[in-house]
Structure 1
Amino acid sequence: MDEHIVISIARQYGSGGRTVGKMLAEKLGISFYDKEIIRMASDESGIDLGLFGKVEGGNKIKPSLFNKSSLYRGKLVQPDSKEFISDENIFSYQAKVVKDLAEKESYVIVGRCVNYVLKDRPNTLRVFVHAPWDFRVEQASEKISGSREEIEKFLLKDDKRKQEYYRKFTGGVWNDATNYDLCLNSGKLGFERCAEAIEAQLKIMLNK
Protein backbone atom coordinates (compact mmCIF):
# COMPACT_ATOMS: atom_id res chain seq x y z
CA MET A 1 0.00 0.00 0.00
CA ASP A 2 1.54 3.27 -1.14
CA GLU A 3 -0.63 5.56 0.94
CA HIS A 4 -0.82 5.74 4.71
CA ILE A 5 -4.12 5.03 6.42
CA VAL A 6 -5.85 7.49 8.72
CA ILE A 7 -8.68 6.52 11.06
CA SER A 8 -10.52 9.52 12.45
CA ILE A 9 -12.74 9.02 15.49
CA ALA A 10 -15.37 11.52 16.54
CA ARG A 11 -17.10 10.61 19.78
CA GLN A 12 -19.55 11.63 22.44
CA TYR A 13 -18.01 12.19 25.85
CA GLY A 14 -18.53 9.06 27.90
CA SER A 15 -18.79 6.78 24.87
CA GLY A 16 -15.21 5.58 25.26
CA GLY A 17 -14.23 6.69 21.78
CA ARG A 18 -10.79 7.76 22.91
CA THR A 19 -10.25 4.40 24.64
CA VAL A 20 -11.36 2.62 21.47
CA GLY A 21 -8.96 4.73 19.42
CA LYS A 22 -6.01 3.91 21.64
CA MET A 23 -6.91 0.19 21.56
CA LEU A 24 -7.11 0.27 17.78
CA ALA A 25 -3.81 2.10 17.34
CA GLU A 26 -2.13 -0.47 19.55
CA LYS A 27 -3.70 -3.37 17.63
CA LEU A 28 -2.59 -1.91 14.31
CA GLY A 29 0.82 -0.80 15.55
CA ILE A 30 0.35 2.81 14.44
CA SER A 31 0.40 6.21 16.14
CA PHE A 32 -2.45 7.67 18.19
CA TYR A 33 -3.08 11.41 18.29
CA ASP A 34 -5.44 13.55 20.31
CA LYS A 35 -4.51 16.82 22.01
CA GLU A 36 -0.93 16.49 20.79
CA ILE A 37 -2.18 18.02 17.55
CA ILE A 38 -2.79 21.44 19.11
CA ARG A 39 0.70 21.48 20.62
CA MET A 40 2.20 20.57 17.23
CA ALA A 41 0.12 23.25 15.51
CA SER A 42 1.20 25.80 18.12
CA ASP A 43 4.86 24.89 17.62
CA GLU A 44 4.58 25.16 13.83
CA SER A 45 2.62 28.42 13.74
CA GLY A 46 4.16 30.19 16.71
CA ILE A 47 0.65 30.96 17.97
CA ASP A 48 0.28 30.66 21.74
CA LEU A 49 -0.94 27.24 22.83
CA GLY A 50 -3.54 28.87 25.08
CA LEU A 51 -5.31 30.38 22.06
CA PHE A 52 -5.72 26.92 20.54
CA GLY A 53 -7.22 25.74 23.81
CA LYS A 54 -9.69 28.62 23.90
CA VAL A 55 -10.99 27.90 20.41
CA GLU A 56 -11.22 24.17 20.98
CA GLY A 57 -12.72 24.58 24.42
CA GLY A 58 -15.60 26.56 23.01
CA ASN A 59 -14.77 29.79 24.84
CA LYS A 60 -14.90 31.76 21.62
CA ILE A 61 -17.42 29.72 19.62
CA LYS A 62 -20.89 31.23 19.50
CA PRO A 63 -23.66 29.98 17.17
CA SER A 64 -24.74 33.52 16.41
CA LEU A 65 -21.33 34.19 14.86
CA PHE A 66 -21.61 31.35 12.36
CA ASN A 67 -21.16 32.36 8.76
CA LYS A 68 -19.70 30.86 5.62
CA SER A 69 -16.51 32.87 5.99
CA SER A 70 -15.49 30.72 8.98
CA LEU A 71 -15.65 27.44 7.04
CA TYR A 72 -12.35 25.60 6.62
CA ARG A 73 -10.88 26.05 3.15
CA GLY A 74 -7.29 25.03 3.74
CA LYS A 75 -5.76 28.49 3.57
CA LEU A 76 -3.22 29.80 6.09
CA VAL A 77 -2.91 33.46 7.05
CA GLN A 78 0.58 34.90 7.40
CA PRO A 79 1.91 36.39 10.69
CA ASP A 80 1.75 39.96 9.41
CA SER A 81 -2.03 39.75 9.04
CA LYS A 82 -4.45 40.81 11.75
CA GLU A 83 -6.28 37.53 11.09
CA PHE A 84 -3.22 35.46 12.01
CA ILE A 85 -4.61 34.50 15.44
CA SER A 86 -8.22 34.22 14.27
CA ASP A 87 -10.25 31.10 15.09
CA GLU A 88 -10.20 30.16 11.42
CA ASN A 89 -6.41 30.36 11.10
CA ILE A 90 -5.92 28.40 14.31
CA PHE A 91 -8.17 25.67 12.95
CA SER A 92 -6.34 25.74 9.61
CA TYR A 93 -2.99 25.17 11.31
CA GLN A 94 -4.42 22.15 13.14
CA ALA A 95 -5.70 20.84 9.82
CA LYS A 96 -2.29 21.40 8.21
CA VAL A 97 -0.62 19.29 10.92
CA VAL A 98 -3.20 16.53 10.37
CA LYS A 99 -2.59 16.56 6.61
CA ASP A 100 1.20 16.67 6.94
CA LEU A 101 1.14 13.70 9.32
CA ALA A 102 -0.91 11.72 6.80
CA GLU A 103 1.90 12.15 4.29
CA LYS A 104 4.40 10.66 6.74
CA GLU A 105 2.63 7.87 8.62
CA SER A 106 -0.54 5.93 9.36
CA TYR A 107 -2.39 6.94 12.52
CA VAL A 108 -5.58 7.02 14.57
CA ILE A 109 -6.80 10.45 15.60
CA VAL A 110 -9.59 11.62 17.89
CA GLY A 111 -11.62 14.78 17.31
CA ARG A 112 -10.49 17.95 15.47
CA CYS A 113 -13.12 17.54 12.69
CA VAL A 114 -10.67 15.28 10.85
CA ASN A 115 -13.54 13.44 9.17
CA TYR A 116 -14.22 16.73 7.34
CA VAL A 117 -10.62 17.87 6.85
CA LEU A 118 -9.72 14.56 5.17
CA LYS A 119 -13.14 13.83 3.63
CA ASP A 120 -11.72 13.57 0.11
CA ARG A 121 -8.57 11.69 1.05
CA PRO A 122 -8.31 8.00 0.02
CA ASN A 123 -7.50 5.44 2.72
CA THR A 124 -9.23 7.50 5.39
CA LEU A 125 -11.83 5.79 7.57
CA ARG A 126 -14.18 8.16 9.36
CA VAL A 127 -15.79 6.78 12.52
CA PHE A 128 -18.34 8.11 15.01
CA VAL A 129 -18.64 6.44 18.43
CA HIS A 130 -21.80 7.05 20.44
CA ALA A 131 -23.55 5.42 23.39
CA PRO A 132 -26.84 5.49 25.35
CA TRP A 133 -27.24 8.32 27.84
CA ASP A 134 -27.06 6.19 31.00
CA PHE A 135 -23.90 4.49 29.74
CA ARG A 136 -22.29 7.86 29.08
CA VAL A 137 -23.24 9.16 32.52
CA GLU A 138 -21.75 6.06 34.13
CA GLN A 139 -18.51 6.32 32.16
CA ALA A 140 -18.23 10.07 32.77
CA SER A 141 -18.70 9.59 36.51
CA GLU A 142 -15.45 7.61 36.54
CA LYS A 143 -13.55 10.63 35.22
CA ILE A 144 -15.30 13.65 36.68
CA SER A 145 -16.71 14.21 40.15
CA GLY A 146 -20.15 15.51 41.00
CA SER A 147 -23.76 14.49 41.31
CA ARG A 148 -25.61 12.80 38.46
CA GLU A 149 -27.28 16.11 37.69
CA GLU A 150 -23.92 17.86 37.44
CA ILE A 151 -22.52 15.13 35.21
CA GLU A 152 -25.56 15.29 32.95
CA LYS A 153 -25.16 19.06 32.64
CA PHE A 154 -21.51 18.54 31.73
CA LEU A 155 -22.42 16.03 29.01
CA LEU A 156 -25.07 18.32 27.54
CA LYS A 157 -22.62 21.22 27.52
CA ASP A 158 -19.92 19.10 25.89
CA ASP A 159 -22.30 17.87 23.18
CA LYS A 160 -23.31 21.46 22.47
CA ARG A 161 -19.68 22.60 22.36
CA LYS A 162 -18.80 19.90 19.82
CA GLN A 163 -21.86 20.68 17.70
CA GLU A 164 -20.99 24.38 17.59
CA TYR A 165 -17.30 23.77 16.89
CA TYR A 166 -18.10 21.38 14.05
CA ARG A 167 -20.73 23.67 12.57
CA LYS A 168 -18.47 26.72 12.69
CA PHE A 169 -15.64 25.16 10.71
CA THR A 170 -17.44 22.62 8.51
CA GLY A 171 -20.97 23.94 8.12
CA GLY A 172 -22.26 20.47 8.96
CA VAL A 173 -23.78 18.57 11.85
CA TRP A 174 -21.27 16.82 14.11
CA ASN A 175 -23.39 13.73 14.93
CA ASP A 176 -24.94 13.30 11.47
CA ALA A 177 -24.24 9.70 10.38
CA THR A 178 -23.83 10.76 6.75
CA ASN A 179 -20.57 12.49 7.71
CA TYR A 180 -19.01 9.17 8.67
CA ASP A 181 -18.20 5.78 7.14
CA LEU A 182 -18.97 3.85 10.30
CA CYS A 183 -21.07 4.63 13.41
CA LEU A 184 -20.75 2.42 16.48
CA ASN A 185 -22.76 2.10 19.68
CA SER A 186 -20.11 1.37 22.29
CA GLY A 187 -22.76 0.81 24.95
CA LYS A 188 -23.95 -2.26 23.07
CA LEU A 189 -20.71 -3.46 21.53
CA GLY A 190 -18.19 -2.68 24.25
CA PHE A 191 -14.84 -1.04 23.57
CA GLU A 192 -12.96 -4.11 22.37
CA ARG A 193 -15.61 -5.04 19.83
CA CYS A 194 -15.75 -1.46 18.60
CA ALA A 195 -12.02 -1.63 17.90
CA GLU A 196 -12.52 -4.97 16.14
CA ALA A 197 -15.38 -3.55 14.06
CA ILE A 198 -13.25 -0.62 12.92
CA GLU A 199 -10.40 -2.96 12.02
CA ALA A 200 -12.77 -5.15 10.02
CA GLN A 201 -14.20 -2.12 8.19
CA LEU A 202 -10.67 -0.93 7.46
CA LYS A 203 -9.83 -4.25 5.78
CA ILE A 204 -12.98 -4.02 3.65
CA MET A 205 -12.12 -0.45 2.63
CA LEU A 206 -8.56 -1.32 1.66
CA ASN A 207 -9.59 -4.40 -0.32
CA LYS A 208 -12.09 -2.63 -2.56
Structure 2
Amino acid sequence: MKKSDEQERNIANRLYNLDKKVYETTGSTLGRVFPSSPSFALEKIIDALKINREYFLKNEMTLIANMIGTIRDEEKAAPLKQEYDELEKDILAYNPTIILPHSIDNNDAVASRRFSSDNHLIICISRQFGTGGHTIGFELAQRLGIAYYDKEIIHLACDRMGLNSKDVTDYGIDSSGSSRGILSSIGKASRKFFSTQSDMLFFTQSNLICEMATQESCIFMGRCADVVLTNNNIPHLSIFLSAPFKERVKYEMGIASCDYKTASAKVKTMDQERKNYYQYYTGRQWGYAGNYDLCVNTFFYGHDETIQVLYDMAEMSCKK
Protein backbone atom coordinates (compact mmCIF):
# COMPACT_ATOMS: atom_id res chain seq x y z
CA MET A 1 0.00 0.00 0.00
CA LYS A 2 1.34 3.42 -0.95
CA LYS A 3 2.10 5.96 1.75
CA SER A 4 -0.67 8.26 0.49
CA ASP A 5 -3.14 5.36 0.61
CA GLU A 6 -2.12 4.64 4.20
CA GLN A 7 -2.57 8.30 5.12
CA GLU A 8 -6.00 8.44 3.51
CA ARG A 9 -7.22 5.32 5.29
CA ASN A 10 -5.77 6.52 8.60
CA ILE A 11 -7.53 9.88 8.30
CA ALA A 12 -10.77 8.23 7.20
CA ASN A 13 -10.75 5.81 10.15
CA ARG A 14 -10.06 8.58 12.64
CA LEU A 15 -12.76 10.85 11.21
CA TYR A 16 -15.33 8.05 11.26
CA ASN A 17 -14.43 7.03 14.82
CA LEU A 18 -14.47 10.64 16.05
CA ASP A 19 -17.95 11.07 14.61
CA LYS A 20 -19.05 7.92 16.44
CA LYS A 21 -17.58 9.07 19.76
CA VAL A 22 -19.15 12.52 19.49
CA TYR A 23 -22.64 11.24 18.87
CA GLU A 24 -22.35 8.59 21.56
CA THR A 25 -21.40 11.37 23.97
CA THR A 26 -24.19 13.72 22.90
CA GLY A 27 -26.77 10.94 22.75
CA SER A 28 -27.86 11.76 19.22
CA THR A 29 -28.37 8.92 16.76
CA LEU A 30 -30.28 10.94 14.17
CA GLY A 31 -27.42 13.39 13.80
CA ARG A 32 -24.63 10.96 12.91
CA VAL A 33 -22.57 12.56 10.15
CA PHE A 34 -21.71 9.11 8.81
CA PRO A 35 -24.79 6.95 9.57
CA SER A 36 -23.96 4.35 6.91
CA SER A 37 -21.88 1.21 7.35
CA PRO A 38 -18.19 1.69 8.28
CA SER A 39 -16.93 0.31 4.97
CA PHE A 40 -19.17 2.60 2.90
CA ALA A 41 -18.38 5.66 5.03
CA LEU A 42 -14.63 5.03 4.91
CA GLU A 43 -14.62 4.70 1.14
CA LYS A 44 -16.62 7.93 0.86
CA ILE A 45 -14.10 9.82 3.00
CA ILE A 46 -11.13 8.33 1.14
CA ASP A 47 -12.74 9.25 -2.17
CA ALA A 48 -13.16 12.84 -0.93
CA LEU A 49 -9.47 12.99 0.00
CA LYS A 50 -8.33 11.54 -3.32
CA ILE A 51 -10.25 13.94 -5.55
CA ASN A 52 -9.95 16.90 -3.18
CA ARG A 53 -13.66 17.32 -2.43
CA GLU A 54 -12.89 19.93 0.20
CA TYR A 55 -16.52 21.04 0.49
CA PHE A 56 -17.47 17.53 1.65
CA LEU A 57 -14.76 17.38 4.31
CA LYS A 58 -15.47 20.94 5.42
CA ASN A 59 -19.19 20.24 5.86
CA GLU A 60 -18.66 16.99 7.77
CA MET A 61 -15.97 18.46 10.03
CA THR A 62 -18.15 21.49 10.73
CA LEU A 63 -21.06 19.28 11.78
CA ILE A 64 -18.82 17.32 14.14
CA ALA A 65 -17.33 20.54 15.52
CA ASN A 66 -20.78 21.99 16.17
CA MET A 67 -21.86 18.90 18.09
CA ILE A 68 -18.69 18.91 20.21
CA GLY A 69 -19.45 22.53 20.99
CA THR A 70 -22.77 21.51 22.58
CA ILE A 71 -21.10 19.20 25.14
CA ARG A 72 -21.13 21.18 28.37
CA ASP A 73 -19.19 18.62 30.43
CA GLU A 74 -15.61 19.79 29.82
CA GLU A 75 -14.14 16.47 30.97
CA LYS A 76 -16.02 14.74 28.16
CA ALA A 77 -15.52 17.52 25.63
CA ALA A 78 -11.78 18.10 26.14
CA PRO A 79 -10.47 14.81 24.66
CA LEU A 80 -12.85 15.15 21.71
CA LYS A 81 -11.64 18.71 21.07
CA GLN A 82 -8.04 17.53 21.18
CA GLU A 83 -8.75 14.63 18.83
CA TYR A 84 -10.55 16.99 16.45
CA ASP A 85 -7.64 19.47 16.42
CA GLU A 86 -5.08 16.70 15.82
CA LEU A 87 -7.17 15.31 12.98
CA GLU A 88 -7.51 18.78 11.48
CA LYS A 89 -3.72 19.24 11.52
CA ASP A 90 -3.15 15.89 9.82
CA ILE A 91 -5.72 16.62 7.12
CA LEU A 92 -4.05 19.96 6.42
CA ALA A 93 -0.63 18.29 6.40
CA TYR A 94 -1.93 15.74 3.91
CA ASN A 95 -3.36 18.44 1.65
CA PRO A 96 -2.69 22.11 2.58
CA THR A 97 -5.23 23.30 -0.02
CA ILE A 98 -8.14 21.84 1.93
CA ILE A 99 -9.88 24.60 3.90
CA LEU A 100 -11.43 23.31 7.12
CA PRO A 101 -13.24 25.11 9.95
CA HIS A 102 -10.96 26.45 12.67
CA SER A 103 -10.29 24.44 15.82
CA ILE A 104 -13.14 23.76 18.23
CA ASP A 105 -12.05 26.48 20.64
CA ASN A 106 -12.40 29.06 17.88
CA ASN A 107 -15.54 27.61 16.37
CA ASP A 108 -17.78 30.15 18.09
CA ALA A 109 -16.14 32.82 15.94
CA VAL A 110 -17.69 31.19 12.88
CA ALA A 111 -21.13 31.13 14.48
CA SER A 112 -20.85 34.71 15.69
CA ARG A 113 -20.36 35.92 12.13
CA ARG A 114 -23.75 34.50 11.12
CA PHE A 115 -25.59 37.64 12.23
CA SER A 116 -24.54 41.23 11.66
CA SER A 117 -25.70 44.20 13.73
CA ASP A 118 -28.40 44.75 11.11
CA ASN A 119 -29.86 41.25 11.46
CA HIS A 120 -32.45 39.98 13.90
CA LEU A 121 -31.92 36.70 15.75
CA ILE A 122 -34.00 34.16 13.84
CA ILE A 123 -34.26 30.53 14.94
CA CYS A 124 -36.04 27.89 12.86
CA ILE A 125 -37.00 24.72 14.72
CA SER A 126 -38.09 21.54 12.97
CA ARG A 127 -38.93 18.50 15.04
CA GLN A 128 -40.20 14.97 15.16
CA PHE A 129 -43.65 14.66 16.67
CA GLY A 130 -43.61 13.99 20.40
CA THR A 131 -40.27 15.64 21.18
CA GLY A 132 -41.87 18.46 23.16
CA GLY A 133 -40.78 20.89 20.47
CA HIS A 134 -43.71 23.27 20.92
CA THR A 135 -43.05 23.94 24.60
CA ILE A 136 -39.28 23.94 24.10
CA GLY A 137 -39.57 26.54 21.35
CA PHE A 138 -42.03 28.66 23.32
CA GLU A 139 -39.96 28.65 26.52
CA LEU A 140 -36.77 29.35 24.57
CA ALA A 141 -38.45 32.38 22.99
CA GLN A 142 -39.52 33.60 26.43
CA ARG A 143 -36.02 33.20 27.81
CA LEU A 144 -34.47 35.02 24.85
CA GLY A 145 -37.17 37.69 24.97
CA ILE A 146 -38.17 37.24 21.33
CA ALA A 147 -41.38 36.45 19.44
CA TYR A 148 -42.65 32.91 18.86
CA TYR A 149 -44.60 31.75 15.80
CA ASP A 150 -46.14 28.34 15.24
CA LYS A 151 -49.73 27.95 14.02
CA GLU A 152 -50.08 31.71 14.17
CA ILE A 153 -48.44 31.78 10.74
CA ILE A 154 -51.32 29.75 9.29
CA HIS A 155 -53.95 32.07 10.77
CA LEU A 156 -52.16 35.16 9.48
CA ALA A 157 -51.79 33.61 6.03
CA CYS A 158 -55.49 32.70 5.97
CA ASP A 159 -56.44 36.25 6.91
CA ARG A 160 -54.29 37.59 4.10
CA MET A 161 -55.88 35.17 1.61
CA GLY A 162 -59.42 35.61 2.88
CA LEU A 163 -59.70 31.97 3.97
CA ASN A 164 -61.38 30.47 7.00
CA SER A 165 -58.59 29.01 9.13
CA LYS A 166 -61.00 26.30 10.33
CA ASP A 167 -60.76 24.76 6.85
CA VAL A 168 -56.98 24.58 7.04
CA THR A 169 -54.79 21.99 8.76
CA ASP A 170 -51.11 22.24 9.62
CA TYR A 171 -50.14 20.84 6.23
CA GLY A 172 -52.65 22.18 3.77
CA ILE A 173 -56.21 23.10 2.98
CA ASP A 174 -58.64 20.51 4.25
CA SER A 175 -61.63 20.54 1.94
CA SER A 176 -62.79 17.06 2.95
CA GLY A 177 -63.08 17.42 6.71
CA SER A 178 -60.06 15.15 7.16
CA SER A 179 -57.27 16.21 9.50
CA ARG A 180 -54.58 14.59 7.38
CA GLY A 181 -53.51 17.69 5.52
CA ILE A 182 -51.87 17.67 2.12
CA LEU A 183 -51.09 13.96 1.88
CA SER A 184 -53.93 11.48 2.15
CA SER A 185 -51.61 8.50 2.55
CA ILE A 186 -47.94 7.65 2.60
CA GLY A 187 -46.45 7.87 -0.87
CA LYS A 188 -49.75 8.80 -2.49
CA ALA A 189 -50.69 12.43 -3.02
CA SER A 190 -54.30 13.49 -2.63
CA ARG A 191 -55.95 16.12 -4.79
CA LYS A 192 -55.33 18.66 -2.02
CA PHE A 193 -51.60 18.11 -2.44
CA PHE A 194 -51.70 19.61 -5.90
CA SER A 195 -54.29 22.22 -5.00
CA THR A 196 -53.39 25.66 -6.30
CA GLN A 197 -54.91 27.08 -3.15
CA SER A 198 -52.68 24.89 -0.95
CA ASP A 199 -49.63 26.08 -2.82
CA MET A 200 -50.82 29.66 -2.52
CA LEU A 201 -51.17 29.15 1.23
CA PHE A 202 -47.61 27.87 1.44
CA PHE A 203 -46.19 30.81 -0.51
CA THR A 204 -48.26 33.28 1.50
CA GLN A 205 -46.82 31.76 4.68
CA SER A 206 -43.34 32.02 3.17
CA ASN A 207 -43.82 35.71 2.42
CA LEU A 208 -45.00 36.30 5.98
CA ILE A 209 -41.99 34.45 7.39
CA CYS A 210 -39.60 36.64 5.39
CA GLU A 211 -41.43 39.81 6.39
CA MET A 212 -41.38 38.89 10.09
CA ALA A 213 -37.71 37.88 9.97
CA THR A 214 -36.77 41.34 8.71
CA GLN A 215 -38.89 43.08 11.35
CA GLU A 216 -38.07 41.34 14.65
CA SER A 217 -36.13 38.55 16.33
CA CYS A 218 -38.25 35.43 16.57
CA ILE A 219 -38.55 31.66 16.54
CA PHE A 220 -40.37 29.86 13.72
CA MET A 221 -41.67 26.35 14.32
CA GLY A 222 -41.72 24.26 11.15
CA ARG A 223 -43.30 25.79 8.02
CA CYS A 224 -40.09 25.02 6.06
CA ALA A 225 -38.88 28.33 7.47
CA ASP A 226 -35.22 27.28 7.36
CA VAL A 227 -35.28 26.77 3.59
CA VAL A 228 -37.54 29.78 2.95
CA LEU A 229 -35.08 32.06 4.75
CA THR A 230 -32.05 30.42 3.12
CA ASN A 231 -33.54 31.03 -0.32
CA ASN A 232 -34.07 34.68 0.60
CA ASN A 233 -30.57 35.13 2.06
CA ILE A 234 -31.88 35.89 5.55
CA PRO A 235 -29.46 34.73 8.32
CA HIS A 236 -30.92 32.25 10.80
CA LEU A 237 -30.15 29.23 12.96
CA SER A 238 -31.72 25.92 11.96
CA ILE A 239 -32.46 23.29 14.61
CA PHE A 240 -33.86 19.77 14.42
CA LEU A 241 -35.26 18.08 17.53
CA SER A 242 -35.47 14.30 17.73
CA ALA A 243 -36.04 11.57 20.31
CA PRO A 244 -36.41 7.76 20.33
CA PHE A 245 -39.74 6.59 18.92
CA LYS A 246 -40.92 4.85 22.11
CA GLU A 247 -40.18 7.91 24.21
CA ARG A 248 -42.15 10.10 21.83
CA VAL A 249 -45.09 7.70 22.01
CA LYS A 250 -44.98 7.85 25.82
CA TYR A 251 -44.91 11.63 25.64
CA GLU A 252 -47.99 11.68 23.41
CA MET A 253 -49.78 9.22 25.71
CA GLY A 254 -49.26 11.65 28.58
CA ILE A 255 -50.29 14.72 26.61
CA ALA A 256 -53.34 13.20 24.91
CA SER A 257 -54.31 10.73 27.68
CA CYS A 258 -54.53 7.87 25.18
CA ASP A 259 -53.29 4.29 24.93
CA TYR A 260 -50.02 3.17 23.33
CA LYS A 261 -51.62 2.02 20.07
CA THR A 262 -53.39 5.34 19.51
CA ALA A 263 -50.34 7.40 20.42
CA SER A 264 -48.05 5.27 18.25
CA ALA A 265 -50.30 5.73 15.22
CA LYS A 266 -50.44 9.49 15.82
CA VAL A 267 -46.65 9.81 16.07
CA LYS A 268 -46.14 7.84 12.85
CA THR A 269 -48.79 9.81 10.98
CA MET A 270 -47.54 13.22 12.07
CA ASP A 271 -43.91 12.36 11.31
CA GLN A 272 -44.89 11.22 7.83
CA GLU A 273 -46.96 14.32 7.16
CA ARG A 274 -44.15 16.61 8.26
CA LYS A 275 -41.64 14.68 6.18
CA ASN A 276 -43.83 14.71 3.08
CA TYR A 277 -44.67 18.41 3.43
CA TYR A 278 -41.04 19.42 3.93
CA GLN A 279 -39.70 17.31 1.09
CA TYR A 280 -42.46 18.31 -1.32
CA TYR A 281 -41.92 22.03 -0.87
CA THR A 282 -38.15 22.11 -0.32
CA GLY A 283 -36.73 19.08 -2.11
CA ARG A 284 -34.62 18.42 0.98
CA GLN A 285 -34.51 15.41 3.25
CA TRP A 286 -36.40 16.14 6.46
CA GLY A 287 -34.34 15.33 9.55
CA TYR A 288 -31.01 14.88 7.74
CA ALA A 289 -28.30 16.38 9.97
CA GLY A 290 -26.49 18.07 7.10
CA ASN A 291 -29.51 20.32 6.53
CA TYR A 292 -29.38 21.84 10.02
CA ASP A 293 -26.97 23.77 12.22
CA LEU A 294 -27.75 21.58 15.21
CA CYS A 295 -29.64 18.34 15.93
CA VAL A 296 -30.66 17.65 19.53
CA ASN A 297 -32.03 14.50 21.14
CA THR A 298 -34.56 15.96 23.58
CA PHE A 299 -34.94 12.68 25.47
CA PHE A 300 -31.20 12.46 26.13
CA TYR A 301 -30.86 16.09 27.24
CA GLY A 302 -34.27 16.48 28.83
CA HIS A 303 -36.60 19.46 28.54
CA ASP A 304 -34.63 22.05 30.53
CA GLU A 305 -31.20 21.04 29.27
CA THR A 306 -32.37 21.12 25.65
CA ILE A 307 -33.54 24.70 26.16
CA GLN A 308 -30.17 25.53 27.72
CA VAL A 309 -28.26 24.04 24.77
CA LEU A 310 -30.32 26.04 22.29
CA TYR A 311 -30.05 29.18 24.41
CA ASP A 312 -26.26 28.85 24.56
CA MET A 313 -26.10 28.41 20.79
CA ALA A 314 -28.24 31.50 20.25
CA GLU A 315 -26.10 33.54 22.63
CA MET A 316 -22.92 32.34 20.94
CA SER A 317 -24.28 33.26 17.52
CA CYS A 318 -25.06 36.80 18.63
CA LYS A 319 -21.55 37.54 19.88
CA LYS A 320 -19.93 40.40 18.04
Work out which of the residue numbers 192, 196, 207 in structure 2 matches 1:96.
207
Work out which of the residue numbers 161, 164, 172 in structure 2 matches 1:55.
172
Of the two structures, which has the highest relative contact order with CA contacts closer than 8 Å and spacing of 6 or more?
Answer: 1
* Corresponding position: 1:4 with 2:115: no
Shift in Å at residue 203 of structure 1? 2.9
Assess if the C-alpha contact under 8 Å between 2:182 and 2:189 holds in 1. no
* Corresponding position: 1:126 with 2:242: no
CA distance in 1, matches of 2:276, 2:131: 19
Name the structure 1 match of 2:248.
136
Equivalent AA in structure 1 for residue 147 of structure 2: S
Q: Please give the secondary structure, in 2, of the residue aligned with 1:8.
A: strand
TM-score, L = length of structure 1: 0.83
CA distance in 1, matches of 2:253, 2:235: 36
Q: Please give the secondary structure, in 1, of the residue aligned with 2:208.
A: helix
CA distance in 2, matches of 1:203, 1:184: 17
* Corresponding position: 1:158 with 2:270: yes
Shift in Å at residue 157 of structure 1? 0.9
CA distance in 1, matches of 2:226, 2:272: 18
Q: String of CA shifts for 1:133-176, please: whole Å, max 9, x gaps.
A: 22212211122132212211111111111111111111122111
Equivalent AA in structure 1 for residue 225 of structure 2: V
Shift in Å at residue 64 of structure 1? 4.0
Name the structure 2 match of 1:30.
146
Assess if the C-alpha contact under 8 Å between 2:278 and 2:286 holds in 1. yes
Q: Please give the secondary structure, in 2, of the residue aligned with 1:199.
A: helix
Question: Which segments of 5 or more consecutive residues in structure 2 lack a partner in the other structure?
Answer: 1-116, 174-178
Question: Which segments of 5 or more consecutive residues in structure 1 lack a partner in the other structure?
Answer: 71-81
Q: CA RMSD in A?
A: 2.2
State percent identity of aligned pairs: 30
CA distance in 1, matches of 2:235, 2:306: 19
Q: Please give the secondary structure, in 1, of the residue aligned with 2:246.
A: helix
Q: Please give the secondary structure, in 2, of the residue aligned with 1:142.
A: helix
TM-score, L = length of structure 2: 0.56
Q: String of CA shifts for 1:51-94, please: whole Å, max 9, x gaps.
A: 4326175433254449xxx7xxxxxxxxxxx94x2x21110001
Name the structure 1 match of 2:309.
197
Q: String of CA shifts for 1:6-60, please: whole Å, max 9, x gaps.
A: 1111111111111111111011111111101101111112233244326175433
Assess if the C-alpha contact under 8 Å between 1:6 and 1:106 holds in 2. yes
Q: Please give the secondary structure, in 2, of the residue aligned with 1:42.
A: helix
The 5 A counterparts of 1:161-200 are 161-200=273-312
CA distance in 2, matches of 1:19, 1:168: 27
* Corresponding position: 1:46 with 2:162: yes
Assess if the C-alpha contact under 8 Å between 1:115 and 1:179 holds in 2. no
